[in-house]
């Protein structure tokens, strides 16, 4: 995906980052219907899938207000993170963007310490510090203050927003399983479609 985004900017005068973000987020709308169809072939009924989907936010908690409260923030975090990723590709190499975005696991650990009350482990914190040092080294190699370093900052923003997405998704979905993740992502894609159509 990074190389595709980079090719958009290098092979022409392409500047419609928001269009690419919208298209990349919206095309995932086929995932839930496809998986639901496959699951029906393996013995699940539509009623089972609907019941599982309704329990995404806890028993008896599927309402428009609840979906708006829990899914709209995830949608915004997802869209902003994807926008940072594609815009970073216009300013620096796909290799740098991919390397910096991989640091999202470090940010997930930091956010998990704060919000999910994960246990503190010295080895994981050393991995976080090493990851952050790697991001700083990549930014240094681009030259601080250059367009490349702005791309690194945007890629770091993508890593941070991806981390927020993962942690907030765990906070909002009561029981993490395939059906619940697919249902939540289906709602997120629908909100993304609505954002662009307005």
Report the 10 Å Cβ neighbour count for 57.
Answer: 22
Give dist(CA 87, CA 15) in Å, integer: 9
Torsion of CA 63, 64, 65, 70, to 10 degrees: 90
- DSSP for 118-172, written as a single string: PPP-HHHHHHHHHHHHHHHHHHHHH-TTSHHHHHHHHHHHHHHHHHHHHHHHHHH
Give dist(CA 142, CA 95) in Å, integer: 12
Tell me what pLDDT residue 74 has: 79
* Residue where the block lists tokens 């072939």: 41
Is the confidence at residue 9, as pLDDT, over 80? no
Tokens linked to 19:
């269009």
Calculate the alpha carbon distances from 148 to 24, 142, 155 in Å.
Answer: 24, 5, 10
pLDDT tens across 16-56, in order?
Answer: 666 666 676 666 667 777 777 887 888 888 777 777 766 66
pLDDT tens across 108-157, in order?
Answer: 899 999 988 889 999 989 988 998 888 888 877 777 777 778 888 898 99
Q: With DSSP H G I counted as helix, E B as strand and the rest as coil, what are the percentages for the chain, rounded to 5? A: 80, 0, 20
Percentage of the chain modeled with pLDDT above 70: 65
Give dist(CA 96, CA 5) in Å, integer: 13
Calculate the alpha carbon distances from 167 to 27, 111, 119, 176 in Å.
Answer: 23, 7, 15, 12
Tell me what pLDDT residue 4 has: 59
Taken in order 117, 119, 125, 127, the sign of the CA dihedral is negative
Tell me what pLDDT residue 160 has: 92
How is the chain split into domains, by residue range?
2-197
Is the confidence at residue 81, as pLDDT, over 70? yes
pLDDT band at 175 (very low <50, low <70, confident <90, very high): low
């Amino acid at each position: 995906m990074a190389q595709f985004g980079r090719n958009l900017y290098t092979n022409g005068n392409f500047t419609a980052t928001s269009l690419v973000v919208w298209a990349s987020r919206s095309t995932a709308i086929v995932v839930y219907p496809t998986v639901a169809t496959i699951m029906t072939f393996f013995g699940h009924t539509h009623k089972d899938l609907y019941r599982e989907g309704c329990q995404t936010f806890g028993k008896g908690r599927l309402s428009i207000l609840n979906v708006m409260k829990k899914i709209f923030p995830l949608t915004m975090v997802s869209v902003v993170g994807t926008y940072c990723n594609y815009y970073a590709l216009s300013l620096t190499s796909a290799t740098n963007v991919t390397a910096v975005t991989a640091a999202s696991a470090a940010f997930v650990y930091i956010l998990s310490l704060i919000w999910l009350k994960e246990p503190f482990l010295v080895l994981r914190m050393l991995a976080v510090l090493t990851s952050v040092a790697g991001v700083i080294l990549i930014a240094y190699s681009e030259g601080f203050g250059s367009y490349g370093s702005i791309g690194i900052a945007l890629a770091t923003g993508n890593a941070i927003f991806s981390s927020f997405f993962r942690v907030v998704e765990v906070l909002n979905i009561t029981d993490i399983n395939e059906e619940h993740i697919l249902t939540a992502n289906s709602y997120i894609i629908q909100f993304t479609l609505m954002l662009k159509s307005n």
